[in-house]
Structure 1
Amino acid sequence: MNHDHNGHERPGDALRTVARSKLVMIGFLLVIAYFLWTEHRAHVIQFLPFLLLAACPLMHIFMHGGHRHGHGPDDATKDTNAKGER
């Protein structure tokens, strides 16, 4: 029974492989972003004002929580932590 131990990976090899694959993925994403920006710049720029306007209600809904806290008469009975959040 002869076992060839040269084919087995060491623990550091797996980490290097993961780090290398992340760098390759970032490189591909940068290339894709560059070509999307250069080819579709005119289409994207014309919609930027509308994206800003659309961001306002989305931020209001998701960042303020829909104003469900701090505006009702039964707020004293609800559980709150030290910061006043639920």
Structure 2
Amino acid sequence: MAQHETSGFRSFIFSRSGMVLLGFLAVAGYFLWEEHAAHILGYLPLLLILGLCVGMHFFMHGSHGGDHGSHRDEPREDDR
């Protein structure tokens, strides 16, 4: 019977080098959050307001597309 090979990424993560890398990324992430949390949380309301504006524009103006059939049935002033 042939043994199943584990994937290269999974074997790397559980290796000594992979554990060191994960530890380094965890420490770096912690310090990045500690130093920049005020900036991130300070801009959060602005980003939410902008996101709401974009969402409202997308969902409320969705009916503007299409064939505009009601406007084609009306005669233009030049045709009268």
Check whether TM > 0.5: no
What's the TM-score, normalizing by structure 2?
0.44
Bigger Rg, which one? 2
The structure showing larger relative contact order (alpha-carbon pairs under 8 Å, at least 6 residues apart) is 2
